[in-house]
């Protein structure tokens, strides 16, 4: 195994590596898991933090997710997507589960008022790494409604009816803007799947 990479390093080049590492993790390889941790902990924690905001809750959920990666590595199927996508899908779902749980409901209510500001903040913090720069450029290439719908849903953790309410736009419109915007993002990023 090569040297451990920093978590912020773009995944694209090392996707196949990570897939292989995860199959080693599935067989109980602890060293492989440590490398997987080093590669994924940054984005896993960053994403959860973006959605939940609260650092200690985010750390707790990130820990659950990373342990889940260890525990269910055998369920990862390279035929269905990359290891990074698999892990980050789990991370986002767990963050969303937390957002939509009853305990979080009250604080979310208070936050929704400042939601449009969050969009800017998200765009502002998308930086630093090349990957982030690429994502930012591609986000900039979307229409404003596409970009806002996608960032509110994904980074903000809002359901699409909530996004529709926040943007004061018809449900059906949001639905198609999210889908069209994602298709454009996908093509802009040259995502392989």
**Residue 66 Cβ vs other proteins, minimum distance, rounded to whole Å:** 5
Where do runs of H (alpha helix) occur along 141-189? 144-154, 160-166, 171-189
Question: Which CB sits closer to other proteins, 144 or 179?
Answer: 179
**Residue 114 Cβ vs other proteins, minimum distance, rounded to whole Å:** 19
**Residue 17 Cβ vs other proteins, minimum distance, rounded to whole Å:** 15
Phi-psi region of 168 (alpha: psi -120 to 50; beta: other; left: phi over 0): left
Question: Which CB sits closer to other proteins, 17 or 68?
Answer: 68
- Euclidean distance between CA atoms 130 and 46, whole angstroms: 16
Question: Which CB sits closer to other proteins, 31 or 116?
Answer: 31
Spatial CB neighbours of 8, under 8 Å, sequence gap ≥ 6:
42, 128, 129
Question: Which CB sits closer to other proteins, 45 or 119?
Answer: 45
For residue 189, give the nearest of 45, 1, 12, 6 by alpha carbon. 12
DSSP secondary structure letters along 47-69: HHHHHH--HHHHHHHHHHHHHHH
**Residue 157 Cβ vs other proteins, minimum distance, rounded to whole Å:** 8
**Residue 4 Cβ vs other proteins, minimum distance, rounded to whole Å:** 11
Token readout for 14 is 């090392």
Question: Which CB sits closer to other proteins, 17 or 59?
Answer: 59
């Amino acid at each position: 195994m090569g040297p451990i990479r920093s978590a912020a390093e773009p995944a694209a080049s090392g996707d196949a590596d990570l897939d292989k590492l995860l199959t080693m993790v599935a067989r109980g390889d602890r060293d492989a898991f440590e490398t997987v941790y080093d590669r994924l902990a940054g984005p896993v924690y960053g994403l959860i933090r973006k959605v939940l905001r609260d650092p200690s809750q985010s750390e707790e959920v990130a820990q659950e997710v990373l342990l889940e990666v260890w525990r269910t590595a055998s369920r990862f199927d390279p035929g269905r997507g990359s290891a990074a996508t698999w892990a980050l899908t789990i991370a986002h779902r767990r963050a969303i589960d937390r957002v939509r749980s009853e305990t979080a409901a009250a604080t979310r209510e208070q936050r929704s008022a400042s939601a449009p500001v969050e969009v800017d903040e998200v765009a502002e913090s998308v930086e630093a790494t090349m990957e982030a720069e690429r994502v930012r450029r591609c986000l900039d290439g979307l229409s404003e409604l596409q970009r806002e719908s996608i960032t509110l849903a994904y980074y903000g953790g809002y359901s699409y009816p909530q996004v529709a309410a926040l943007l004061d736009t018809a449900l059906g419109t949001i639905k198609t803007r999210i889908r069209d915007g994602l298709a454009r993002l996908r093509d802009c990023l040259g995502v392989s799947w």
